[in-house]
Structure formats: structure tokens, C-alpha cells
Amino acid sequence: MTLTALAEQGLVLAMAAPAESGANPWVQLIPFALVLAIFYFLILLPMQRKQKKVQQFIEALKVGDRVVTTSGIYGQITRISDKDVQLEIADKVRIKISKAAVGGYQGQDPVAPDVAGQS
């Protein structure tokens, strides 16, 4: 169909005006930069702060601390190595877990992020 045929049927076509050649192309990047800044301050920065807090908690663990794991196991630290922790969960019952699995101290709010993504 041609434009005249479409016009005869009552359809109106709009054409965009040509872009102004005097506009600064950097102005078009402002919304993109704003979205990136909002993303950084609302998502990335809080996540980095939380990771730093968790890392400080893991580094501060010591033998004798009463902790709870992210899976809900309560115990007392009996041995610490570079990547894992040994917990005594009952009399003469010890388990070996990853340091990342320690969620916090007993009786306090968890330090490690929840596995389900709820914070």
C-alpha cells in the first residue's frame, strides 16, 4: 500500500521531526549515568558493606566462641584452621564445617547473609 492509499482509508501517519544538529551528545548520557549511580548506591555499596562486616566477623572467630551455623546448628568452636572450623555440638560430638557456614554468635542476630536471600 502506498501513503496515499493509507490516507484515503483514514489512517494518519506521523513522521518524526529531524533531530537538531546543535544538541550536545553528552546530554544523552546523563540518564544512563544517573541509573548507574542509583544502582551503585542502592545495590552495590550496601552489598560491599555487608560482605566486609561478614569478613570481619569470620576473622574474629576464636576457640571457645559459641556460634550458630547458617543451617541452624548450635555449637562451641574447638579448633580453627584457614578454611574450616570444628564445632562441638554435644558432649564428645564434633563436626567440621566451613568458616563461611558460621552465621553468628548464639543469642545474637545473624551476621552472615541468609541463604534464601532474605535480610
**Tens digit of pLDDT for each residue in 30-53?**
999 999 999 999 999 999 999 999
Q: Which domains does the chain have, with CATH numbers?
A: 29-105 (2.30.30)
What is the number of other CB atoms lying within 10 angstroms of the CB of residue 29?
Answer: 11
pLDDT tier, 119 (very low <50, low <70, confident <90, very high otherwise): very low
Higher pLDDT, 62 or 3: 62
Does the pLDDT value for residue 114 go beyond 80? no
3-state helix, strand, coil in the chain (%, to 5): 35, 25, 40
Asked if residue 31 lies in contact with residue 39, where contact means CB atoms within 8 angstroms, the answer is no
pTM, two decimal places: 0.63
Q: Tens digits of per-residue pLDDT, 62-99? A: 999 999 999 999 999 999 999 999 999 999 999 999 99
